[in-house]
Structure 1
Amino acid sequence: MASRHSPTRLLRAFVALLLPLALAACGINSVPTAEENAKAKWADVQAAYQRRADLIPNLVAVARNAANIEQSTLEGVIQARASATQVQLTPDDLSDPAKVEAFQSAQANVSSSLGRLLVTVEQYPELKSQARFADLMTQLEGTENRINITIRDYNAAVQDYNTRIRTFPEMIGAKLIHGAKPLTPFEAKAGADTAPDVGAMFNGS
């Protein structure tokens, strides 16, 4: 009788061996795909911040040439920009909360310094009336909006990836095959990372 049941036992053993592999296969493609998507979204965030960094020198130059704005205000913007451009965050660093925090803080300082500059500009109506300055303000407003959108998209991609590597059955493949680590979302600090309300300034708000 033992021989009649041996095929069944062999089949069960075979299934027992294949089941973990089958479950792990669920994350073989989906986990790295989700990770690459999150990293691509992060590249969009960096591009948006770079666009802002590129606008700042022109903005400062126009403000300096057109009005007697306090030098400390302009220097604050310049220094914040310089510090932010020195804080580099590669896709491989996205699983390191400390490095993401450093990047966030540097960019928050830029937002804060820009906010102070825009408040100061209120005292110089002749500067606000200049076409070149108004154009730069429009570009800055669009860039700040783009930053917010790219951060939102990045955080959504991170949430999807982090959920995948922590949810059965994809977590099996994520741990056994990919050694996946959670990515860090970009969290704006209360008040510190608020985009300058350029539109409100020109509407007289």
Structure 2
Amino acid sequence: MKKNFLITIYSIIIFTFFIILWITNIYNQLVKLNESIKTQWGQIENVYQRRADLIPNLVNTVKGSANFEKNTLNQIIEARAKATSISINKNDLNQNQINKFQQTQDQLNNSVSRLLLIVENYPNLKSTQNFYELQNQLEGTENRINVERNRFNDKVNNFNTYRNQFPKIIIANFFSQFQEKGYFKSQIGAKKSPIIDFSN
């Protein structure tokens, strides 16, 4: 009788040990995937900051080379200020936060696109070396933004797929940092990122 009791106790201890080991493994994998998303979020912030840093140079070059409506330049400056002032907590990258961030960045993108369309009417400006270099840098930055956003969405997909599998979702729901993450989505009506073309 005592032997059976000891076997039962040892079985429970071994079973508990394996359950703890299994939960620890899931937790550690969730941490790894979550940290990967945070790292990628940092990359996204970097490329958006690069674009924000290019805009004052672009605006100053345009101001110095053309007679523009102040309204257009003021809209860009305001949109840039909004885009750089928004702060997203990388520990809470839910869909609502991502949408808020993306909306302010899209407003900035629209303002810059309007500026670049207006510039088409100023052939002298298009031929200046400074503007040409800034335009190339801005175009390259837009491509980087697209690449980093795609990488972010891939990492979010990996995380969400892993955490939403049963029974992992039960463990994930015990920890606030492992809530489902949000994706970057394309603008409504936009099938591809805007292309800035000065060749025409």
| Shorter-chain TM band | 0.7 to 0.9
Corresponding position of 2:161: 163
Give per-residue Cα distances to partners, 1:143-193, cap 9 Å, x unaligned. Answer: 000000110111111111112222245445434467621111122322469
Counterpart CA distance in 2 for 1:176 and 1:101 is 25
Question: Which of 42-51 and 181-190 deviates more?
Answer: 181-190
Structure 1, 170-179 or 125-134: larger mean CA deviation: 170-179
Q: Mean alpha-carbon deviation: is it higher for 154-163 or for 170-179?
A: 170-179
Q: Could you say if the C-alpha distance between residues 193 and 44 of structure 1 is closer, same or farther in structure 2, counting changes exceeding 3 Å?
A: farther
Q: Superposition pairs for residues 119-198 of structure 1, below 5 Å? A: 119-168=117-166, 170-176=168-174, 180-191=178-189, 195-198=193-196
CA distance in 2: counterparts of 1:7 and 1:179, whole angstroms: 40
- SS of 1:94 mapped into structure 2: coil
Unaligned 5+ residue runs, structure 2?
A: none
Offset from partner CA, 1:99-142 (integer Å, 9 cap, x none): 32221110000111111111111111111011110000000000
- Please give the secondary structure, in 1, of the residue aligned with 2:92: helix
Measured at CA, do residues 101 and 154 of structure 1 come closer, stay the same or move farther in structure 2, by a change above 3 Å? same
SS in 2 for 1:92: coil
Aligned ranges 1:2-21 → 2 under 5 Å: 6=5, 9-10=8-9, 12-21=11-20
Which segments of 5 or more consecutive residues in structure 1 lack a partner in the other structure? none
The residue aligned with 1:84 is 83
Structure 1 residues 94 and 66: alpha-carbon distance in aligned structure 2, compared to 1, 3 A threshold:
same
**Which segment drifts farther, 181-190 or 107-116?**
181-190
| Structure 1: distance between partners of 2:189 and 2:137 | 22
- If the length of structure 1 is used for normalisation, what is the TM-score? 0.86
* Residues 21 and 41 of structure 1: CA distance in aligned 2, closer, same or farther (over 3 Å): same
| One-letter amino acid of the structure 1 residue matched with residue 112 of structure 2 | L
Q: CA 1:191/1:77 → structure 2, altered by over 3 Å: closer, same or farther? A: farther
The SS at the match of 1:202 is coil
Report the residue type matching 1:180 in the other structure.
Answer: F
Tell me the CA shift for residue 50 of structure 1: 0.4
- Root-mean-square deviation over aligned CA pairs: 2.3
Distance 1:178 1:109, change over 3 A: closer
Total equivalences in the alignment: 200
**What is the CA-CA distance between 1:6 and the residue it aligns to?**
4.7
TM-score normalised according to structure 2 size: 0.88
Alignment partner, residue 33 of structure 2: 34
Q: CA deviation at 1:194?
A: 5.8
* Residues 107-116 or 164-173, more deviating: 164-173
Partners of 2:91 and 2:177 within 8 A in 1: no
For the Cα contact (< 8 Å) 2:96–2:182, is it kept in 1? no
